[in-house]
Amino acid sequence: MPVISRFLGIIISMFWNDHAPSHFHAKYGDFEITVEIDSGIVEGKFPPRALKHVMEWYGLHKDELMQDWELCRQAQQPRPIQPLE
């Protein structure tokens, strides 16, 4: 599972050839969520502050996330995405 970004203890990744709809995974300690790229729908549990950071980062990088999704669907290495600063 390629890691595409890391910030504030949060790890953002995607699986190669993962199921639709387009989404990414975020992990923070023992917590894990998936976020749909098109809609922003979140599944799973995350601490509120960490979730706020993930959603802020998602809003800034939605286009890059879609590009990485397409690369992963083709079993290619996704490009790293700038962390939240």
Q: Which of 15, 14, 18, 27 is nearest to 53 (CA)?
A: 27
Q: How confident is the model at residue 3 (pLDDT cuts 50, 70, 90)?
A: very high
Summarize the confidence of residues 48-66 as an average pLDDT: 97
Question: Where is pLDDT greater, at 39 or 16?
Answer: 39
Summarize the confidence of residues 36-47 as an average pLDDT: 97
Q: Evaluate whether 24 touches 43 at the Cβ level (below 8 Å).
A: no
Question: Does residue 17 have a pLDDT over 80?
Answer: no
Q: If you average pLDDT over every residue of the chain, what do you get?
A: 95
**Is the CA virtual torsion 74, 77, 82, 84 positive or negative?**
positive
Q: How far is CA 56 from CA 16, 20, 65, 76, in A?
A: 24, 23, 13, 26
pTM: 0.93
